[in-house]
Structure 1
Amino acid sequence: MEKFKELGISDLTIRALTDMGFEEPTPIQEQAIPTLLTGRDLVGQAQTGTGKTAAFGIPLLQNLKNILGGIQGIVLTPTRELAIQVAEELNKLGQFSQIRALPIYGGQDIQRQIRALQRKPHIIVATPGRLMDHMDRRTIRLNDIKMVVLDEADEMLNMGFIEDIEKILSTTPDSRQTLLFSATMPRQIQNLAQKFLKDPVLISTKSKEVTVPLIEQHYYELHDRQKFDVLCRLLDIQSPELAIVFGRTKRRVDELTEALKKRGYSAEGIHGDLTQAKRDAVLRQFREGIVDILVATDVAARGLDVSGVTHVYNFDIPQDPESYVHRVGRTGRAGQTGLATTFVIPRELEQLRSIERITKRKIVRMTVPTVNDAIEGQQRLAIEKLLNQIEEGNLERYRGRAEELLAETDSVSLLSAALKLLTKEPDNTPIKITEEAPLRTRSFGSKRRQPEHRKDTASGKPRYKTGGYKK
């Protein structure tokens, strides 16, 4: 922990970092924390997985005074899931300093949030729409704000939150410290920083720190109607421990989830139209390994930090190269290897080349697996299960019956029967997945995307903002 101490971090926070299992700071933490502890504004170009929550969370906790009542810090995030995760990490970091963070987001009962606010948390982690609702109700006042953090600013821009963000910042004291973190820096984000930040320090993580080198990246060129059967074959061959399948739209996610369940896979889906309780339940099942496959849209999965994800499948090529980086970053974490697979229809090959240019990584073309490949993959898995049982031992109670069977049947026939029982034969039941139009090459890479419906109002009704289209 010596490197953390050198950054000027307090003893109470060091205790929390030790308790959380941190060993040494990431590059963005080394650059950001000393600067932020001096009170300077900051613009950080960094993506999910680089440790930026602690990079802004530690100074946020240390610069606030827990003896003061009322909200002193605000973190704005684009999604409910990210708000919950950031609040959880802030509460862990502040467990010994008695500074508490409260997540505020659409989809949760607003009266429940009002009751929680009456307990006077020091930090609010909020989606912009729901924070605006509380400001309108006067249940949250921003008079005493010492620090504001904009997390995933480019994604909030894509979702049409830019006007809300400007109104929120305009309501806070001019003396506040302001932090802006964004994976990309489009013109509107630069204008936002210029308008609301005072002489900010600029830091950026290098691409080698953002893209994880342990991730294998493959693609398959195929037609849309082939995608589902090929996905099932890959699942049978690779047998991922935890996998995320990305679909472009909510309809796609729903259809894929149901189709996978019909084929016998343990899968659940998340997107913006699900209730918060349902989304929380699905994510809990996925984290605990009860569900093996999570099917998700980009927005629903943004900011997810689930350890142990071994495979990512891009059922649809992402809208832009930045989204690709975010998707594949769900795997290969904490020094573990990961595999990212992308399905590409012929008309989308130029989009794939654009991803390769931006990420400076070659994505390897693979041959589409056959049904026989899937069967062989399942047989290999069955053999591994048998050998693992031998290594584990505790077979004494079965030896007598095994010897009786060997006296009546040859060993090859017995093993063949065992393999057949353990092998999951591919299900070729025809399943229709609605085809989607390919991305247009000329629009690829633009930041004008189709955000999910906003439901950050107290009524829960969809709200559309500028900066995106309705689906």
Structure 2
Amino acid sequence: MPAPEEASTSRPSSPAPQEKPSFKALGLIDPLLEALQQLSFTSPTDIQTAALPHALEGRDIIGVASTGSGKTAAFALPILQKLWDDPRGLFACVIAPTRELAYQITEHFEALGSAMGVRCATVVGGIDEMSQAVALAKKPHVVVATPGRLQYHLENTKGFSLRSLKFLVLDEADRLLDMDFGPILDKILKVIPQERTTYLFSATMTTKVAKLQRASLSNPVRVEVSEKYAPLLLIRLLMRLRVSRRYSTVSTLLQYYLFIPLVQKDVNLMYLANSLASNSIIIFTRTVHDCQRLAIMMRTLGFPAVPLHGQLSQSARLGALGKFKSGGRKVLVATDVASRGLDIPHVDAVINYDIPTHSKDYIHRVGRTARAGRSGKSITFVTQYDVELVQRIESVTGKKLELWPTDKEEIALLRERVDEAGRAATNELKDQAKEGRGRKRRWDVGSGRDDRDRDDDVVEAGMPSKKSKKRK
């Protein structure tokens, strides 16, 4: 098939800045303009300016933009405008990699379509299937879903299908494919109409996403917006030579590192928490065990932290996120379920307790702060085992991390209390594991395995999880 057209994103050579067009100038209808005004969206972002004209013409879109750039409105607005013209039946399906992101997308659709009476259904794991089947029977205009639960309803819910679908959106497409949802997406693509409009949005463009693009889009136009604008010919040359492009972080983000021995991570974390006591902080861990342990330890030491990971119930996950968003809790301890797509406007700092293995995961984690032009800071713990990983991140981002200053005497004074709180947190987790308090699935406290939502969603789709394959 022909290669996608590229929308030019290079800046003009003239030093005089060009004024951005207004939402009205882009061709949006009055009900949407009213909703945008109520939400205080005064002018379109770069990705919205680049994508909306093509989307309103009915083109398939490949949108590549950094996190926090307004991608959700870039695909929600043209869908709602077309829905205004033809409000019949199930109109659009948005597929997202995580439950929290799915709920956030639903909120955007309902807010932007408030004047139109748009009906949405959120279909994700962790929620009773029957209540979702009832919501689908009410004929929503937009279904927002994670792949596994969507496939479950397609196979098991009588009367539900995507045969009349007009729009398909694949949001955070690189994460969808990283989480092994490829086979499920293939099944879904087989049961939706060929005559449809498809939007594929991603913060990074990988080879897997390129393959998905070829399989699901028809003559798409590609719009790409980043901090650094490269001439179109250079972009094409880099693609032809298969040179990896740097992932960008926003200029308002200050990036630091803390070089410490592995055994001193907890005490240094509490030192940072004290130093940043008035700030809202997200602390990222690699494992569910550390996420839960650190949240308990911080609460013991007087910091009202809440955990967020994939093995909490869905209501607990939404509750933790709600407390943090509202400012009721200043510290959120999370696994990578919180690293993608979530729009939490006021995050002052991100702490990488564990350095991510993949550089693009670092980009998405630190993208939770310094959003929408605000400033922010990230601090990454680097132990003797992480030097190569941080060098790779610096190479990919093209930025050197600066050393965060510390007071060794103050850290030494904290050590005894922190060690005691850490032991108490570990013992509490062991007791919870023995009693199995309200958990559908118990995690092994000593395993230190990575948190993944994908096992739940893959099982829902009728496919064996990685665990069950190993048992066989």
Tell me the TM-score normalized by structure 2.
0.80
Partner of 2:396: 358
Post-superposition CA distance 1:409-460 (Å, at most 9, x none): xxxxxxxxxxxxxxx99944432599xxxxxxxxxxxxxx974443237869
Query: CA shift at 1:333, angstroms?
Result: 2.0
**Which of 373, 383, 388 does residue 335 from structure 1 map onto?**
373
Conserved in 1, the CA contact under 8 Å of 2:61 and 2:221?
yes
SS of corresponding position for 1:14: helix
Q: 1:45 is aligned with what amino acid?
A: V
Asked if 1:454 corresponds to 2:467, the answer is: no
**Change over 3 Å in CA distance of 1:5–1:369 after alignment to 2:** same
**Change over 3 Å in CA distance of 1:23–1:425 after alignment to 2:** farther
Q: What is the RMSD of the two structures over their aligned residues, measured on CA atoms?
A: 2.7
Q: Larger deviation: 103-112 or 256-265?
A: 256-265
CA–CA distance in structure 2, aligned partners of residues 33 and 280 of structure 1: 31
Partner of 1:178: 198
**Change over 3 Å in CA distance of 1:338–1:156 after alignment to 2:** same
**Change over 3 Å in CA distance of 1:39–1:461 after alignment to 2:** closer
**Which of 182, 185, 209 does residue 162 from structure 1 map onto?**
182
Partner of 2:137: 118
Q: 1:148 is aligned with what amino acid?
A: L
- Structure 2: gaps of 5 or more residues: 1-19, 230-247, 427-449
SS of corresponding position for 2:114: coil
Conserved in 2, the CA contact under 8 Å of 1:453 and 1:463?
no
**Which of 232, 235, 251 does residue 289 from structure 2 map onto?**
251
**Change over 3 Å in CA distance of 1:237–1:142 after alignment to 2:** same
Partner of 2:15: none
Partner of 1:270: 308
Q: Larger deviation: 118-127 or 296-305?
A: 296-305
**Which of 21, 29, 54 does residue 48 from structure 2 map onto?**
29
- Greater radius of gyration (CA): 1
Partner of 1:216: 254
Partner of 2:61: 42
What are the residue-to-residue correspondences of 1:6-17 with 2, within 5 Å? 6-17=25-36
CA–CA distance in structure 2, aligned partners of residues 4 and 68 of structure 1: 22
SS of corresponding position for 2:115: coil
What are the residue-to-residue correspondences of 1:363-382 with 2, within 5 Å? 363-372=401-410
Q: 1:27 is aligned with what amino acid?
A: D
Query: CA shift at 1:356, angstroms?
Result: 1.4
CA–CA distance in structure 1, aligned partners of residues 357 and 203 of structure 2: 15
Q: Larger deviation: 167-176 or 83-92?
A: 167-176
Query: CA shift at 1:465, angstroms?
Result: 6.2
Partner of 2:150: 131
Partner of 1:320: 358
Conserved in 2, the CA contact under 8 Å of 1:455 and 1:462?
no
CA–CA distance in structure 2, aligned partners of residues 120 and 194 of structure 1: 31
Query: CA shift at 1:207, angstroms?
Result: 3.8
Query: CA shift at 1:371, angstroms?
Result: 4.2
CA–CA distance in structure 1, aligned partners of residues 42 and 348 of structure 2: 23
CA–CA distance in structure 2, aligned partners of residues 65 and 188 of structure 1: 34
CA–CA distance in structure 1, aligned partners of residues 340 and 67 of structure 2: 8
**Which of 167, 192, 206 does residue 147 from structure 1 map onto?**
167
Query: CA shift at 1:105, angstroms?
Result: 0.5
Conserved in 2, the CA contact under 8 Å of 1:233 and 1:426?
no
Q: Larger deviation: 47-56 or 67-76?
A: 67-76
SS of corresponding position for 1:454: helix
- Structure 1: gaps of 5 or more residues: 376-423, 435-448
Partner of 2:272: 234
Conserved in 1, the CA contact under 8 Å of 2:68 and 2:372?
no
Conserved in 2, the CA contact under 8 Å of 1:240 and 1:310?
no
Post-superposition CA distance 1:30-77 (Å, at most 9, x none): 110110111111111223301000001101111225754421101000
CA–CA distance in structure 2, aligned partners of residues 216 and 134 of structure 1: 44
How many residues align? The count is: 407
Q: Larger deviation: 169-178 or 450-459?
A: 450-459
Q: 1:197 is aligned with what amino acid?
A: L
Q: Larger deviation: 290-299 or 232-241?
A: 232-241
Partner of 2:124: 105
Partner of 2:321: 283
Query: CA shift at 1:184, angstroms?
Result: 2.0
**Which of 86, 98, 105 does residue 79 from structure 1 map onto?**
98
Post-superposition CA distance 1:154-177 (Å, at most 9, x none): 101111111111211121111101
Query: CA shift at 1:258, angstroms?
Result: 1.4
SS of corresponding position for 1:168: helix
CA–CA distance in structure 1, aligned partners of residues 373 and 175 of structure 2: 27
CA–CA distance in structure 2, aligned partners of residues 145 and 189 of structure 1: 22
**Change over 3 Å in CA distance of 1:235–1:460 after alignment to 2:** farther
Conserved in 1, the CA contact under 8 Å of 2:66 and 2:226?
no
Conserved in 1, the CA contact under 8 Å of 2:166 and 2:196?
yes
Conserved in 2, the CA contact under 8 Å of 1:107 and 1:460?
no
Conserved in 2, the CA contact under 8 Å of 1:66 and 1:122?
no
Q: Larger deviation: 91-100 or 78-87?
A: 91-100
SS of corresponding position for 2:90: coil
